[in-house]
A and B are shown apart, each in its own frame.
Chain A
């Protein structure tokens, strides 16, 4: 069979068909051959190798440094997952292959759905969504379609001010108006306050449990009760699932719909490390609205079912970021039920250990206990004109990735720390020592050192304001 070299619109240029039995060069018409040198730069292999190795050394990555980025769950990414995801059996597949020829892959996805259901207490999952916010958006489309199907006009979604910024953005994009709810000092929601704004127009409330201040929503059952009495739905933002895995389940708390971040909780790389994945889970009554295709078992084979008339449709090319799904599946199967529970317990223990070491020295707005992350409010410790931003930059000089800063918005000059379960006590201790020294000593004794930071990195302090106002988007 010949190979098609090129095919252009009819009448533009004829397509050339190549015969695989004859040497390719001999078959290319003379007028299409390049007779000039290609003009590529010539360097020695050793120079090229050094160039790319040196570029790679400029990376800040989990494989080079502690990454206590609050709300991002930057846990260690299992190397065995990477290895398995690179197997030819997976990398050589084409998404348009007949489903009969990819039964193993469909089985993995089917099993992953079932595992996520067990972990979360939901009835069904869709694995298509490419990231957390994509999962939120899909969920809100599902909520909108559900209310349309039962002929209720509900146009508003409640979002507490302690929520992730993506929550109001996703709800707005899905066509809802946002009702903001002021949270308590520890970021939690009071059922009585919630009740006051629960009108017949409210379609859903979006909650993150534990919330962004790292505290568990103690009144979740009462919240669930008042929300459902109002005919509204309860949405779980799974960004912080790493704190409760194997201990409590959103489905049991009363949540109707949720997303999980495989790239946070289930150890797949994210940020610059690779694409994400934000599967959406629902209780059975919302299943008809999940995106197509759905993986089902028909007889003794796995099939892709596109026949779901109430579905919100397809949200992503093919079936989602499959390698990410695969890595998450490897993680779940490697740890098992006990291991997952242990991961959450260790994550919470690590965060509480760090918090305990900070709490007598630096202000902690949400109290002395936390779940998997906590927020410092160092403003009172700053005697000079030092800001949290300067502290974060100084941390880079000390060899650490800076934690999340200025989030959540409800804490002034916030520093949000999430150590995850995969760090050793030694790492946690040395980070606490360094950060405490910067805030309590250097900020007063050597403020200029903080203002000038970073000096040990590939580039110094960048002008963030100018970069946003007049971005230079092209190398000239």
Chain B
């Protein structure tokens, strides 16, 4: 199971890549494997204010639909619209081409409370 060391993680299997005050969010390799082949994705609207832990996206496989929670509070400033047409990208490249959305976050402390790669590995 691929768990890059430079990312932060949540207990609900999202990954976060921090760059200044910008957080890029996706689901982990473990999550995409558990969800199985993804067939449909709904992403949040750009400009939407979101609160940590709030469901903001939906990923659907032939098994079921899954809520995706934002790991940080702030404003949605970008979404990966290419995965709407090609949801398989999330299965094939969960950490790169298959990212979900970008949040401009407003609380540094929330970022500090996220899991490191080691802790996430223990969790799964």
Q: What residues make up the interface of A, taking CB atoms closer than 8 Å to B?
A: 165, 178, 406-407, 409, 464-465, 468-469
Q: In the complex, which of the residues B63, B65, B87 has the most CB atoms of chain A within 10 Å of its own CB atom?
A: B63
Is B17 located at the chain interface by the 8 A CB criterion? Answer: no
- Given that A465-B39, A469-B88 are contacting pairs, would A165 and B62 also be in contact in the complex, using a CB cutoff of 8 Å? no
Q: A468 contacts which chain B residues (CB < 8 A)?
A: 39-40, 60, 62
Q: Interface majority SS on A: helix, strand, loop or mixed?
A: mixed
CB atoms of B62 and A464 under 8 A apart: yes
Is B64 located at the chain interface by the 8 A CB criterion? Answer: yes
Q: B60 contacts which chain A residues (CB < 8 A)?
A: 468
CB atoms of A406 and B39 under 8 A apart: no
- Chain B minimum-CB-distance residue to A168: B67
CB atoms of B87 and A165 under 8 A apart: no
Q: A406 contacts which chain B residues (CB < 8 A)?
A: 63-64
CB atoms of A165 and B65 under 8 A apart: yes
Given A178-B55, A465-B37, 9 more A-B residue pairs with CB atoms under 8 Å apart are A165-B64, A165-B65, A407-B64, A409-B64, A468-B39, A468-B40, A468-B62, A469-B39, A469-B87
CB distance from B82 to the nearest CB of A (A): 14
- What are the nearest 9 A-B pairs in CB distance? A468-B39, A465-B37, A464-B62, A406-B63, A469-B39, A465-B62, A468-B62, A409-B64, A465-B39
Q: B39 contacts which chain A residues (CB < 8 A)?
A: 465, 468-469
Residue tally, chain B, CB below 8 Å to A? 11
A44 to B55, CA, bound (A): 59
A465 to B62, CA, bound (A): 6
CB distance from B113 to the nearest CB of A (A): 20
A132 to B110, CA, bound (A): 40
Q: B55 contacts which chain A residues (CB < 8 A)?
A: 178
A469 to B60, CA, bound (A): 11
Q: A407 contacts which chain B residues (CB < 8 A)?
A: 64
B residues 19-69 with Cβ under 8 Å of A? 37, 39-40, 55, 60, 62-65
Q: B40 contacts which chain A residues (CB < 8 A)?
A: 468
A468 to B62, CA, bound (A): 7
A165 to B66, CA, bound (A): 11
A409 to B88, CA, bound (A): 22
CB distance from B58 to the nearest CB of A (A): 11
Q: List 5 interface pairs A-B (beta carbons < 8 Å), by A numbering.
A: A165-B65, A406-B64, A407-B64, A465-B37, A469-B88
A409 to B40, CA, bound (A): 18
Q: B87 contacts which chain A residues (CB < 8 A)?
A: 469
- Chain A minimum-CB-distance residue to B91: A465
Q: A469 contacts which chain B residues (CB < 8 A)?
A: 39, 87-88
A178 to B88, CA, bound (A): 28
- Chain B minimum-CB-distance residue to A469: B39
